[in-house]
Amino acid sequence: MLNSLFSPREKNLFQEGLTLSKLGRYADALSFFDQALELSPDYQEALVNKGKALTNLGRYSDAIKCFDRTLELSPRNIDAWFCKGLALFYQEKYDQAVYYFDNVLSTYPDDVNTWLEKGSALFYQDKYEESIRCFDRVLFLDPGNESARCNREDAMNALEKKSLQ
């Protein structure tokens, strides 16, 4: 794991940031991720988790910069692909978000969360049939997934309403 390449100081700063993030203290976590990144600018786990904290603070453009830097260092970093897709989704850039979700699914075709987010992005683009297929995939992989069930129902209703117009 890349984490083993970093000093105990960098790892401790990263771990403190991670702990604060898990507690929902995203603004506090940022300072620890920043300190770790000052010592090691290429610390991918710190970059991704800084991006996640920024996303949770609604600072999507800043988060995307973290994910882009991670992808420069490691083009197949699946976590960065997914998180960038989420940040784009929150910016209502749904077509771009789908692109990033599709990249995740090309490596992990059974990732329930990615299918769920892709389905939501397609729904917001009024691509109801594609959205339903995504939610169906989630329900195939996780039959008890209530979010997929509700989202599928919403997409079916929207599709029916659209066909009546």
Q: Is the model's pLDDT at 5 over the cut of 80?
A: no
Q: Reply yes or no on whether the pLDDT at 1 is more than 70.
A: no
pLDDT per residue over 39-75, tens digit each? Answer: 999 999 999 999 999 999 999 999 999 999 999 999 9
Query: What is the C-alpha separation between 22 and 43, in angstroms, rounded?
Result: 19
Ordered DSSP codes for the chain: -GGGGS-HHHHHHHHHHHHHHHTT-HHHHHHHHHHHHHH-TT-HHHHHHHHHHHHHTT-HHHHHHHHHHHHHH-TT-HHHHHHHHHHHHHTT-HHHHHHHHHHHHHH-TT-HHHHHHHHHHHHHTT-HHHHHHHHHHHHHH-TT-HHHHHHHHHHHHHHHHHHH-
pTM: 0.91
For 110-134, what is each residue's pLDDT tens digit? Answer: 999 999 999 999 999 999 999 999 9
165 pLDDT tier (thresholds 50, 70, 90): confident
